[in-house]
Amino acid sequence: MNNSIGFIDILRSSASLKIKFFKGIDYLLGSALAAILPSAPQTGVNFKTIKEVLIIRPGGMGDAVVLLPVINQFKKQYPDIQIDILCERRNWEVFSSQAQWKKNAYCYDRIPEISKVLNKRYDVVIDTEQWHYLSVILGFFLKRQALIGFATRVGRRRLLDVGCDYDTKAYEMDNFLRLFEPWQLQRKEIHLDGSWTVDEASRTWAKQKISGRYAVLSSLASIAERRLNEQQIDLITKELQSQDLQVFLLEGQFNLAQVAAIIQNAQAFIGVDSGLLHVAAAVGVPVTGIFGPGQVFKWAPQGTKHHSIHHQLPCSPCTRFGYTIPTCQGKIPCMRDLNLNIEEIYRRRQ
């Protein structure tokens, strides 16, 4: 698998024009800045004595949800460390609702909040971005003793005080753990299942919204090639109804807290490769993940009660570092030829 991304790949990828514009700027301007900025001084840090940490998490909801259990364990083992989060507006709700340990949660796509971060001093900045330059360049200019991040590109490696390996074939939570190696977190204590807390008000609201035995079905995804079509939604709905289950189809009409509560009360969650898939696993519901262009080995929820449906093809996965670059001219056989009968939906890993 080719694990590099070029400018043409960004233009060819399945993303909105807005995302392509900003990622293109990151590629062109970020590459230039990373090449001319001085290398990090590689100064030594006693990681066991640090008190102030900034964790940078750009991107969407899925990465943020998978990262949460790792930071939870970090705070559990080192309760005296003060943690700030620097994220984006599109994943801010994850941290604002779930990160009880946070001191502050800032958005780097809000200029006034960036100013606040630039005026603070941290012992360590941990950049959890896997590929792009913006976050590591920002981290480079912050007042800090050490900057930790993934050394996935030459420019990123130059700017980091501690560069970590990134395994393109590993479950993403295990990659995030590499960033916290100086603190020797206990991996066996870190689980996505049950890591999401649903507040009582949302739980009560969800019970009023829908009751009885039901399954949640979601085709919501920012990338069109990952979505189910109407025929597939109808097929899954009928299969679930044959098991005397109501079907609650998520269509983006609720906030994240409400969605999490609806999912938590369900018998099962069936959804495409998206952030909600990880939210469902995090609230402790059995999950069936439907994967097409995405990387099953990297993003499928782990655990015996979860299961993933995917159609392995020579061209799949066609996603790397968040970029989906199909070669099938819109046919998407990895999604359209899936086996979606009830036996496959309910099959669990052994």
Mean pLDDT along residues 177-196: 95
Share of the chain above pLDDT 90, in %: 71
Average the pLDDT over 301-311 and give the result. 90
- pLDDT (tens digit per residue) in 112-159: 999 999 999 999 999 999 999 999 999 999 999 999 999 999 999 999
How does DSSP classify residue 273? S
Range name among 83-92, 278-287, 338-347 with the lowest pLDDT average: 338-347
pLDDT tens per residue across span 69-126: 999 999 999 999 999 999 999 999 999 989 888 889 999 888 899 999 999 999 999 9
Query: Could you tell me how many residues make up the chain?
Result: 350
244 band by pLDDT with thresholds 50, 70 and 90: very high
Helix (H, G, I), strand (E, B) or coil at 256: helix
The mean pLDDT of the chain is 91
Residues 6+ apart with CB under 8 A from 327: 315, 318
**Alpha-helix runs per DSSP H in 227-332:** 230-241, 256-264, 275-282, 296-299
- Find the range with the poorest average confidence among 12-21, 70-79, 272-281, 296-305: 12-21
Q: Which pTM was predicted?
A: 0.93
CA distances from 99 to 88, 92, 123, 179 (A): 15, 10, 20, 18
